[in-house]
Amino acid sequence: PGAVFEKEKIKIAEFAAEEKIKIVVAGTIDMRRRDYNQVFELLDKCNAVQLPVVVTLLGGYYGEEGKKVLANCKKYSLNHDNLTFYDGDVVDQPEFDRVMNDVHFVWIPSVIKTVLQDDVTEVYGATISSGNLFDIIKHAKPFIVPAQLQFDSYLNSSSFKYQDADDIIEYLQKFITDPSLYDELKEKALINSENYTIENVRARNKDLFST
């Protein structure tokens, strides 16, 4: 993996009744990697049903398309207070870790097929892996991910796979109705991340190379 789990370095977020659900989309704002139209669609739907959610775009921006997303963020925030973003090209590591520790869910609105360089088509989950999965492992977070994106089966029980924004709305409403469901989910995320401690990764690799 691109990261290992060190329990002593993380904070497990709590979720209580009347609290806003905190969701992070981590990484540089880059339309080649993530579909930010999904972010605005989800926010609009949350507003329509008065679902108490705040989304943080945890990264700077990349290229002209990234600037356009940032401009949309600024326009959206003139009338709403449930989107946080960074007006720059980088977020420093202490701030990144602080936000990651504090959120309830990591959301990966991943594109599936993309071209990153040299006109080569990549497929997320097949020919290329999302770095957000390593953030999820490192910080032991439940996560929300497109149904088409493939990832390590060790993480399945702390994931929610969606087809569209309505699926995400329905899923999040369950935690507003019964916050104790989040306690169960975060324990699954912790157990799943423990598969990626240095010791467990070494043990699996030893078994792999001995067969």
Place of tokens 């009744």: 17
What burial class does residue 45 get, using C-beta atoms within 10 Å of its C-beta: 0-12 exposed, 13-18 middle, 19+ buried? middle
CA angle in degrees (0–180, nearest 5) for 62-67-73: 115
d(CA 34, CA 79) in angstroms, rounded, equals: 24
Instruction: Count, in order, helices (H) and strands (E) of the chain.
Output: 7, 8
User: Does pLDDT of 178 surpass 80?
Assistant: yes
Residue 210's pLDDT band (cuts 50, 70, 90) = low
pTM, two decimals, is: 0.90
d(CA 35, CA 123) in angstroms, rounded, equals: 14
* pLDDT tens figures, 28-83: 999 999 999 999 999 999 999 999 999 999 999 998 999 999 999 999 999 999 99
Residue 93's pLDDT band (cuts 50, 70, 90) = very high
User: Does pLDDT of 94 surpass 70?
Assistant: yes
